[in-house]
Amino acid sequence: MGNCLVAQSGGPTAVINASLAGVVRANQLNPIYDHVYGGIHGIEGVLEEKLYDLTNLSGAEIELLRQTPSSALGTCRYKLKRDNPADFERLLTIMDKNDIDVMFYIGGNDSMDTVDALSEYAAAHNSKKRFVGIPKTVDNDLVPVDHCPGFPSAAKLACLVTHATRLDYDAYTRPEVFVLETMGRDAGWLAASCCLTGDVDLLVLPEVDFDREKFLAQVQKKMDEVGSCYIVVSEGAHYADGTYISAGDTANDGFAHAVLGGAAQTLKQMIIDAGIAPRGVVQDLSRAARSSNFAQSKIDVTEAYELGMSAHMRSANPEFTAQVVGVKRGNARKMECSGGSCQMIESYNAEFFAGPASEFANYVKAFPTDWILPDYQGITEDALEYFRPLVEGEPAIIYGKDGMPATIEPFNKR
């Protein structure tokens, strides 16, 4: 038997390690690979042959890995380019040298493109090496899936912070606005999810070109009517000409995406300058929201783990390559009891599937415009229905030192 390789790429999430744990555990349940190697720092470390043998992690270590946020193997922003065959050759050579048949890559759109490109290259060069994608992204912008692992936990934390900061804001009498900024480069899923708590007055998404006057009129209206205005803005919100609201740094991060941040600060200043409110409070969720271990969604942890298992199990088929595993939303009946009587009701159910990596790669699934209410008023009931099951439920947590959730020591730091 040969070996397999797992690596992580792109921004960390709360549950990307749960997918890693799923691959490792699946191979313990059915050892179709002699070794499960972890690639340190994604493709970047793999190209330098930095591998960590995960095959025999104990059950307790796998449990810890499953609840540890961020990327325990380390991540990278390095992208394999189709016009740079040297990297492709080098990767196949390293796989050969280490008897690796299959590589699992856990990442977002760009990583799924890498899976596609590598599979294509291998096929064109008579190599039997196979490549399988496992999705993750807090942005929730992958096309063929219902949602991406990592998003539900990020949404849950965003909702928790929204409600807590709304209560904090509501304790005051002085006229001021509150602006919460969430991640979301091209899609407004995370910002939109904040509406679940019923606390958001105005929502600014990348899916609707920003209209300064229209927005300010709505802020004015809220301040006139109730004396307060709680705003959520996605970091990627922009004007019709594509200019970001953000006043922040626009340097590149290596993938030719602008580095965003500062949309909330800009909106606050815009409102003050317009004389609508004399003060404003800004809360930027950025890093605190995307890979926490104190607000994981139970469904998210479970599905991320199971997607890791699913990828491993499907890879037993020697034809399985250039594929990505994902979750679609099905309905199933569950028992709900109240007041002494129980009934079966329709409820959320995850259905696992695999599809061509090309369908996942390089497309961005925007938040549906027919789920967006006009005039920055938030989202529709259909959208709320979509979000609801994702954030529910608390995973059982193993606590460690000083009452903090226990985490595993990252493999890239060993």
Nearer to a second copy, 148 or 194 (CB): 194
Strand partners, 233: 181, 204
**404 near a second copy, rule: CB under 8 A:** yes
Q: Which DSSP symbol is given to 410?
A: P
- Binders of a second copy among 273-312, rule CB under 8 A? 281, 283-288, 290-295, 297
Backbone angles phi, psi at 250, to 5 degrees: -115, 25
**69 near a second copy, rule: CB under 8 A:** yes
**70 near a second copy, rule: CB under 8 A:** yes
Q: Which of 83, 126, 174, 240 binds a second copy (CB under 8 A)?
A: 174
**241 near a second copy, rule: CB under 8 A:** no
Stretch that binds a second copy, among 70-78, 137-145, 321-329, 359-367 (CB under 8 A): 70-78
User: Shortest gap between Cβ of 260 and a second copy (angstroms)?
Assistant: 13
Q: Are the CB atoms for 25 and 54 separated by under 8 Å?
A: no
Using CB under 8 A as the criterion, what x/- string covers residues 196-225 for binding a second copy?
xx----------------------------
Q: Are the CB atoms for 112 and 80 separated by under 8 Å?
A: no
- Binders of a second copy among 329-388, rule CB under 8 A? 387-388
H helix count then E strand count, the chain? 13, 11
Q: Which DSSP symbol is given to 73?
A: T
**182 near a second copy, rule: CB under 8 A:** no
Cα–Cα distance measured from residue 362 to residue 360, given in angstroms and rounded to the nearest whole number? 7
Helix axes 59-67, 298-314, angle to 10 degrees: 120
Q: Which of 39, 74, 107, 135 binds a second copy (CB under 8 A)?
A: 74
The one catalytic residue in 113, 139, 201, 284 is: 139
Which residues, in sequence order, are CB contacts of 68 under 8 Å at separation 6+?
17, 293, 407, 408, 410
**156 near a second copy, rule: CB under 8 A:** yes
Q: Are the CB atoms for 268 and 178 separated by under 8 Å?
A: no
**Is 99 designated active site?**
no
User: Shortest gap between Cβ of 175 and a second copy (angstroms)?
Assistant: 13
**163 near a second copy, rule: CB under 8 A:** yes
DSSP characters over 207-253 = TS-B-HHHHHHHHHHHHHHHS-EEEEEETT-BBTTS-BS--S---B-
* C-beta neighbour count of 12 within 10 angstroms: 20
For residue 314, count CB atoms less than 10 angstroms from its CB and return exposed for 0-12, middle for 13-18, buried for 19 or more.
middle
Nearer to a second copy, 168 or 224 (CB): 168
**410 near a second copy, rule: CB under 8 A:** yes
- Number of residues counted as binding a second copy (CB under 8 A): 59
Q: Which of 123, 143, 160, 216 binds a second copy (CB under 8 A)?
A: 160
Cα–Cα distance measured from residue 16 to residue 45, given in angstroms and rounded to the nearest whole number? 18
- Binders of a second copy among 77-106, rule CB under 8 A? 77
User: Shortest gap between Cβ of 130 and a second copy (angstroms)?
Assistant: 26
User: Shortest gap between Cβ of 43 and a second copy (angstroms)?
Assistant: 12
Nearer to a second copy, 23 or 208 (CB): 23
b/e per residue 239-272 (b: at least 16 CB within 10 A): eeeeebbbebeeeeeeeeebebbbbbbbbbebbe
User: Shortest gap between Cβ of 98 and a second copy (angstroms)?
Assistant: 21
Residue in the structure block whose two tokens are 């990020």: 154
User: Shortest gap between Cβ of 91 and a second copy (angstroms)?
Assistant: 18
- Residue 362's SS3 state is coil
Nearer to a second copy, 234 or 291 (CB): 291
Cα–Cα distance measured from residue 193 to residue 385, given in angstroms and rounded to the nearest whole number? 11
Q: Which of 24, 26, 35, 41 binds a second copy (CB under 8 A)?
A: 41
Contact residues for a second copy, defined by CB under 8 A: 8, 12, 41, 44, 68-71, 74-77, 156-157, 159-161, 163-165, 167-174, 196-197, 281, 283-288, 290-295, 297, 387-388, 391-394, 399, 402-405, 407, 410, 412-413
Tell me the catalytic residues: 139
